[in-house]
Copies of this chain bind each other. A is one copy, B any other.
Amino acid sequence: MPLVDSVLAQYFEDALKRADAMAPDYALLWQSLQAATYGGKRLRPALVLSAYAGLGGPDPAEAAEVAAAFELLHTALVLHDDVIDRDFKRRGVPNLAGAYRSRAAGRGVPLEEAAHRGQSAAVIAGDLALTGAYRLVAASDLPGELRLRLLEELDAAVFASAGGEQLDVEFSLPGRRPSLQEVLQMSRLKTAVYSFEAPLRAGALLAGAAGREVEAVGTAGRYIGTAYQLVDDLLGMFGDEELTGKSNVGDLAEGKCTPLIAYARLCPEWQELAGLLGGTPSAAEVRRARNLLEECGARGYVEDLVECYAARARAVLAEAALPAALLAELDGLLERAVQRSR
């Protein structure tokens, strides 16, 4: 994605120069932020560019800044989400908070205090990435009306993901029993909007697509994103760590309120299952929890939900009469999202 990379490279080059002029320690934070941004798969920029090109956008350079903005938004949300989840690793490697934690610990700061230093750096770095995303859209060369529409998309994405994040925190309060409906909504708000719906809508808007096309790719994106997140939840419980690179014990240990758990709460198996959540479960306990989630039907239910959202996405796409190339691309995206679970 050379166009997006070059926007980001320019963005970081400028920032690094300014930071270095202030203090080398500040430049180090920017380097760490750049490294965090470069670790991603560029899923969101790819969606912006796909929708843009697929709906007749003539010059991808026109969409590059907005595409890059969604990558910075992703970096920011991941940084702050990791602070909230107290994660110091991502894909097995120390994240920014983890790197700053090690740095402080290496200088003799006690580990818990060092963790707080790491999280502090991640809060600050996330703020920089978040404002960077707005900056890229707000200062772009786009015509006024279009620029405002794109700011609204970015804003809707931030609004939704902050809401999803807050609900995620709320739902884990003792005594709080969110309904399946609520948990699905939380999951959609936290991830699907900013990762799928908003980038696709932004690409369509940039291409000057008709309103119904913008709606169609957005709605399809929301369904694909929801399916993607549900698959993520399944992998977080039943996945093969070797293949997914993601811990399949973390969700259990954190007592996270995923749709799997929300469903299991309604079943008689819940009494035993509840005792297995939180803390550091043994291998036998993990196996038992997985069996219970299968026996009570939670796994099957969520797998059905994945198919259901995939079908809804296909229906929206089929009805929208989108250009064939874009359809094929979104179909491929959907299949990749869903197949991870099989």
Identify A19's interface contact among B80, B130, B163, CB under 8 A.
Answer: B163
Identify A131's interface contact among B107, B148, B155, CB under 8 A.
Answer: B155
Among A23-31, A41-49, A325-333, the one that faces the other chain is A23-31
Do the beta carbons of B134 and A138 come within 8 Å of each other? Answer: yes
Do the beta carbons of A130 and B130 come within 8 Å of each other? Answer: yes
Q: Is A305 an interface residue (CB 8 A)?
A: no
Residues of chain B with a CB closer than 8 A to A104's CB: 173
Q: Is A322 an interface residue (CB 8 A)?
A: no
Q: Is A167 an interface residue (CB 8 A)?
A: yes
Do the beta carbons of A166 and B83 come within 8 Å of each other? Answer: no
Do the beta carbons of B23 and A182 come within 8 Å of each other? Answer: yes
User: Can you tell how many copies of this chain the complex includes?
Assistant: 2
Do the beta carbons of A108 and B174 come within 8 Å of each other? Answer: yes
Q: Is A84 an interface residue (CB 8 A)?
A: yes
Q: How many A residues are at the interface, by size bracket? A: 35 or more
Q: What 0/1 pattern do residues 215 to 251 of A give for CB contact below 8 A with B? A: 0000000000000000000000000000000000000
Question: Which residues of A from 169 to 183 have beta carbons under 8 Å from B?
Answer: 169-170, 173-176, 182
Do the beta carbons of B127 and A22 come within 8 Å of each other? Answer: no
* A→B interface (CB under 8 Å): 15, 18-19, 22-23, 25-26, 29, 76, 80, 83-84, 86, 104, 107-109, 116-117, 120-121, 123-124, 126-128, 130-131, 134-135, 137-139, 144, 147-148, 151, 155, 158-160, 162-163, 165-167, 169-170, 173-176, 182, 185-186, 189
28 contacts between A and B (CB under 8 A): A19-B159, A22-B163, A22-B185, A23-B163, A23-B186, A25-B166, A26-B166, A29-B162, A29-B166, A80-B127, A83-B123, A84-B124, A86-B116, A107-B175, A107-B176, A108-B175, A109-B173, A120-B169, A121-B166, A127-B130, A128-B159, A130-B130, A130-B131, A131-B134, A131-B155, A131-B158, A134-B134, A135-B155
The 3 closest A-B pairs by CB, nearest first: A138-B138, A134-B134, A84-B120
